[in-house]
């Protein structure tokens, strides 16, 4: 088992796990950790716990030490330097006439590198800008292009709800958000209504979507016929959060709309126990009865096949008829009309004795020969 501690480097962002070693940092404590970018100042979010080593993708980086007062003072000095570096970089961008927007500047704890975050509509050739900044700060310079969602998280702000934006307070990773989630929650598809300060779909649509999906599965669909305490009606509206259903009750010559709780209505649904009027036990009992009936029918057919030959032989012996005999049935007179047998018969003549007519035709043919 491996010991891990969750550390976050910003007020909001992804949670990273480190090996505490012999240290025992408590949640809320500041620590100095070793990362791919060098030594970094962070805050412990989750306390130490154990996990299986097979679940780890790669070996964990160690926590170097718990931050002291000097470390916290050094971090504050870096934050003041970042403000100065921001102004310098902003002025250099104007001098080079680059179409880019500077968002944030970050300096590593050991002062080995300065990272400049910016946004742009496309690719920007900033090689000359990097050389200019390196000559000013005499350290390693890195420019990193980010998206509009990362920009909103770094800058912060208030969302349409009036509260601080989710990505800038507690949301760790950005999850994919689709317009289908807005439809599932019956929201207006107006872009200004469902977009955040970044101009993209609001992140809160994602982590609220699961609740809507699971609740909707337990509710009837629109247009479904249901049974209420006041009679039968049709579902016309759903309130997912309150689990309320609006039903149009049908009367003889009129109708009215009433709202009911989900537990007060009943509708037919195969996988809904206790609400369709047919429990799962009844369904299983009927299934077993059907299987038993099918088995009995199969046994009866087997018995009929076993004794069918004997019965057929007895019937043949009793009637005295064998398979080699031919059966003849006299034609019914009213069933069909006789057709002329020879074209030698005069048209329109009434034929009473067709045998004599055929004999005369044969004599004529012999005489001609």
Report pLDDT digits (tens) over 109-140: 888 889 999 999 888 888 899 999 999 999 99
Query: Hey, is 153 helix, strand or coil?
Result: helix
Output the pTM of the full model. 0.60
Beta carbons of 140 and 85 less than 8 angstroms apart: no
Averaged pLDDT for residues 246-256? 84
Q: What residues form DSSP beta bridges with 66?
A: 31
How far apart are alpha carbons 345 and 348 in whole angstroms? 9
Question: In this model, does residue 44 exceed pLDDT 80?
Answer: yes
Averaged pLDDT for residues 246-251? 87
Rg for the chain, CA atoms, rounded: 45
**Tokens of residue 95, six digits:** 């001098």
Long-range contacts of 28-32 (CB under 8 A, 24+ apart): 29/66, 29/67, 30/66, 30/67, 30/71, 30/72, 31/5, 31/7, 31/63, 31/64, 31/65, 31/66, 31/67, 32/63, 32/64, 32/65, 32/66, 32/67, 32/71, 32/109
Q: Give the residue with greater pLDDT, 60 vs 30.
A: 30
Averaged pLDDT for residues 303-307? 45
How far apart are alpha carbons 144 and 115 in whole angstroms? 7
Question: In this model, does residue 206 exceed pLDDT 70?
Answer: yes
**What pLDDT score does 365 carry?**
64
Confidence of residue 292 (pLDDT cuts 50, 70, 90): low
Q: Count other Cβ atoms within 10 Å, centred on residue 175.
A: 11
Buried b (16+ CB within 10 A) or exposed e, 87-111: eebeebbeeeebebebbbbbbbbeb
Question: In this model, does residue 323 exceed pLDDT 80?
Answer: no
**What pLDDT score does 353 carry?**
59
Averaged pLDDT for residues 170-182? 82
Question: In this model, does residue 349 exceed pLDDT 50?
Answer: no
**Tokens of residue 235, six digits:** 């579902």
Question: In this model, does residue 90 exceed pLDDT 90?
Answer: yes
**What pLDDT score does 350 carry?**
45
Averaged confidence pLDDT in the chain = 75
Q: Give the residue with greater pLDDT, 323 vs 90.
A: 90
Alpha helices in the chain (DSSP H): 69-96, 127-137, 148-155, 179-184, 191-194, 204-217, 280-319, 354-368
**What pLDDT score does 340 carry?**
43
Q: What angle do CA 157, 159, 162 make, to 5 degrees?
A: 100
Q: What angle do CA 37, 41, 46 make, to 5 degrees?
A: 110
Residue with tokens 């009992």, as numbered in its chain: 285
Strand pairing class (16-18; 255-261): unpaired
Beta carbons of 3 and 12 less than 8 angstroms apart: no
Confidence of residue 12 (pLDDT cuts 50, 70, 90): low
Q: Count other Cβ atoms within 10 Å, centred on residue 206.
A: 17
**Tokens of residue 365, six digits:** 């043919």
Helices 69-96 and 127-137 cross at an angle (nearest 10°) of: 140
How far apart are alpha carbons 30 and 45 in whole angstroms? 10
């Amino acid at each position: 088992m491996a010991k891990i501690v969750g550390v976050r480097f910003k007020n909001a962002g992804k949670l990273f796990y480190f090996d505490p070693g012999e240290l025992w940092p408590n949640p809320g404590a500041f620590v100095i950790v070793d990362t791919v970018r060098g030594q970094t100042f962070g805050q412990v979010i989750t306390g130490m716990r154990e996990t299986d080593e097979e679940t780890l993708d790669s070996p964990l980086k160690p926590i170097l030490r718990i931050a002291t007062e000097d470390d916290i003072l050094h971090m504050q000095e870096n934050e003041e330097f970042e403000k100065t570096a921001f102004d310098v970089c902003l002025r250099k961008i104007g001098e080079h006439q680059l179409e880019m927007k500077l968002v944030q500047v970050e300096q590593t704890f050991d002062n080995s590198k300065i990272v400049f975050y910016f946004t742009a509509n496309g690719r920007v050739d900033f090689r000359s800008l990097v050389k200019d900044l390196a000559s000013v700060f005499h350290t390693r310079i890195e420019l990193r292009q980010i998206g509009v969602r990362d920009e909103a998280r770094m800058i912060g702000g208030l969302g349409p709800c009036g509260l601080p934006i989710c990505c800038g307070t507690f949301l760790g990773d950005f999850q994919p958000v689709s317009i289908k989630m807005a439809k599932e929650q019956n929201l207006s598809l107006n872009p200004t209504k469902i977009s955040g300060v970044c101009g993209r779909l609001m992140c809160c649509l994602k982590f609220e979507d699961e609740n809507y999906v699971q609740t909707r599965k337990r509710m009837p669909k629109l247009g479904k016929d249901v049974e209420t305490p006041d009679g039968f009606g049709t579902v016309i509206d759903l309130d997912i959060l309150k689990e309320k259903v609006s039903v149009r009750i049908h009367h003889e010559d009129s109708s009215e709309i009433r709202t009911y709780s989900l537990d007060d209505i009943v509708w037919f649904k195969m996988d809904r126990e206790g609400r369709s009027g047919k429990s799962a036990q009844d369904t299983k009992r009927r299934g077993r009865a059907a299987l038993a009936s099918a088995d009995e029918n199969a046994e009866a057919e087997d018995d009929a096949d076993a004794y069918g030959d004997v019965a057929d032989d007895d019937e043949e012996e009793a009637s005295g008829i064998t398979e080699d005999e031919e059966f003849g049935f006299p034609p019914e007179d009213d069933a069909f009309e006789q057709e002329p047998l020879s074209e030698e018969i005069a048209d329109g003549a009434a034929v009473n004795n067709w045998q004599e007519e055929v004999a005369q035709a044969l004599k004529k043919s012999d005489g001609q020969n």
